[in-house]
Amino acid sequence: MNARRVIERARALAQEGHDDKAQALLRDAVRKRPRDAELRIALGIELDGEEARAELAEAAALAHDDPETLFRVASALRDADAHGAAVRAAEHVEALAPDDFVFAADLLHLRGLLARDAGDDPRAEPLLRAAFAAEPEARGHGRWLAGLLIDHDRFGEALEVVEAAIEVRPRDDDLEEMRGWLLSVLDS
């Protein structure tokens, strides 16, 4: 079975609640193909704690010259609470990425989230704004920017962002809920 099929099968198993089977399938695939960064990313996503971070660190080393794969590693490292490694990977992606990088807006968004995670909202805001401006339809771009604005009691600006996001994501329940909350705050 090729790597993509293994990853798809493991995701299906995990979605069905069979995490142990998904992990076993991915561990076996990594054992057979230890230099496959995509398999290691998939395994790292299925694992927790230090074991997840170790697999993702190995994936980062394997993908050191591939900005697309390294971007996925950086995102997974953030999700695995490996802030420093995620920042280093994102910075390396930025250095490697061509002008027409397919994940350019997502990289801005990730860098904004990493700045926010570090408590640096003044640095996070322009990154999140740039990501939202580049791809307003991307899931989460508007919501995260609005969330930052809400945290700083900038409710009117947050509502503008949410409404702009809803225009391009009209069936996004999270955005609709956020808009309702913002409207109630602004009305009170």
What are the boundaries of each domain within the chain? 1-99, 103-188
Predicted confidence at residue 1, as pLDDT, reads: 66
Amino acid, single-letter form, for residue 163: E
Residue 97 DSSP class: -
Query: Tokens 């076996």 label which residue?
Result: 28
Q: Which fold would CATH assign to domain 103-188?
A: 1.25.40
Q: Are 134 and 104 in contact (CB under 8 A)?
A: yes
* Full-model pTM: 0.90
Alpha helices, H only, the chain? 3-15, 19-32, 37-46, 49-62, 67-79, 83-96, 104-117, 121-134, 141-151, 155-168, 173-187
Predicted confidence at residue 188, as pLDDT, reads: 84
Average pLDDT for runs of 10 along the chain of length 188: 90 94 95 95 94 95 95 96 96 96 97 98 98 96 97 97 96 94 93
Residues 92-136 have pLDDT tens digits of 999 999 999 999 999 999 999 999 999 999 999 999 999 999 999
Predicted confidence at residue 96, as pLDDT, reads: 96
Note the CATH architecture for domain 1-99.
Alpha Horseshoe (1.25)
Do 1-99 and 103-188 have matching folds? Answer: yes
Predicted confidence at residue 162, as pLDDT, reads: 97
